[in-house]
Amino acid sequence: MTAIATEPAPMPHLLGIDDLDTAQVVRILDTAEQLLPIATRERNTVPTLRGKVVCNLFLEDSTRTRISFDLAAKRLSAEVLNFSAKGSSVSKGESFKDTALTLDAMGVDCVVVRSGSSGAPLQLARYLDVPILNAGDGWHQHPTQALLDVFTMRRHLGDLAGRHVVIVGDLLHSRVARSEVQALTLLGAKVSVVAPPTLLPPQVEGWGVELVADLDEVLPDVDVVYLLRVQRERMHRAFFPSSREYSRLWGMDARRLALLGEQAIVMHPGPMNRGVEISGEVADSDRAVITEQVTNGIAVRMACLYLLLAARGGSDAEEAR
Ligand code: NCD
């Protein structure tokens, strides 16, 4: 095969991991690897996106994702407009379409959108003629979280082909889990899931994952334990008897940590419920790479912005350095 044939296709938007193929995921991860020194401030900002306007449209609460996108764009020297539902015309009842048309009229070059409604980024991509980056939509997708997670795994474990990841907890309400399984599958990892039966999505059988009944049984075999937050804001009835019961059956604590192989790492997308899905001891242990995930998130989001905005002609990340 020629080099041209293996070149990943340019991405018009980043709406979900299901839009990507393996070559595109690897390209994002490799680009992030090159940008990491800038993300971690070993080097200063680069002028790659000077003159570009990135709009962060956050219609649902977020701390780390919003700050991470903000920093990522600034490290690439873009101008950043932060737009949240509170304090904007959205809270006055302006329709999503009118918000989109207003952004278009202002001449933004890219919109990063977080919304409680699944499909909002896709809708925006239909209204606007600029790259749209999904920063989490409803229960649907959270592609940059999955990408920063596989980036972090790859830094610890090398190639993920044949590696075993167990995802634990509230899969039903989790956009992270959907994106995570797709990204891991594209990279050839084996994925198991453990969850209270009430928090398993009905279609989980079709996800290509192994359903495991007992967390203790799978722990000695895995390279990564990925804990999901118990998403109380999305639970309008009781899905499990109590937080104590949840942590006894599905929480990661010091006893369970001792069951892991010595290479295994513990991950969580944040924000954590300490004492529920993860004990304080585990969260603070050297097996947990949760703060690294946050740092890596800046590099991965820089890579996504770079590939959507600067590398549309297929040039490589060397230009950004
Ligand atoms: C995740 C989200 O918002 O989906 N968090 C995040 O982006 N940092 C996961 C979560 O809220 O549990």
Q: Residue 243 in contact with residue 279, Cβ under 8 Å?
A: no
For atom 7 of ligand 1, the residue with the nearest CA is 65
Catalytic annotation on 27?
Answer: no
Tens digit of each residue's pLDDT (9 = 90 or more) over 207-249: 999 999 999 999 999 999 999 999 877 767 777 878 888 999 9
Q: How many CB atoms lie within 10 A of CB 41?
A: 12
Question: Fold match between 17-141+294-319 and 143-291?
Answer: yes
Catalytic annotation on 237?
Answer: no
**Higher model confidence: residue 77 or residue 103?**
77
- Short-list 40, 38, 42, 74, CA closest to 56: 74
Domain residue limits, the chain:
17-141+294-319, 143-291
> Coil, strand or helix: which one is 318?
helix
Across the chain, what does the average pLDDT equal? 91
Tens digit of each residue's pLDDT (9 = 90 or more) over 178-203: 999 999 999 999 999 999 999 999 99
Instruction: Write the single-letter amino acid at 312.
Output: R
pTM beyond 0.85: the answer is: yes
Tens digit of each residue's pLDDT (9 = 90 or more) over 254-282: 999 999 999 999 999 999 999 999 999 99
Q: State the distance from the centre of ligand 1 to the C-alpha of 42, rounded, in angstroms.
A: 27
Most confident listed range (25-34, 97-106, 197-206): 25-34
> Coil, strand or helix: which one is 10?
coil
Which listed residue (66, 75, 114, 190) is catalytic?
A: 114
Q: What CATH number matches the domain at 17-141+294-319, 3.20.20.10, 3.40.50.1370, 3.40.50.300, 3.30.360.10?
A: 3.40.50.1370
Q: List the beta strands (DSSP E) in 116-168.
A: 132-137, 164-168
Domain 143-291, second-level architecture: 3-Layer(aba) Sandwich (3.40)
Contacts of residue 187, Cβ cutoff 8 Å, sequence gap at least 6:
22, 25, 26, 150, 154, 160, 161
Q: Residue 74 in contact with residue 80, Cβ under 8 Å?
A: yes
Q: State the distance from the centre of ligand 1 to the C-alpha of 174, rounded, in angstroms.
A: 8
Q: How many CB atoms lie within 10 A of CB 107?
A: 8
Q: What is the C-alpha separation between 59 and 115, in angstroms, rounded?
A: 5
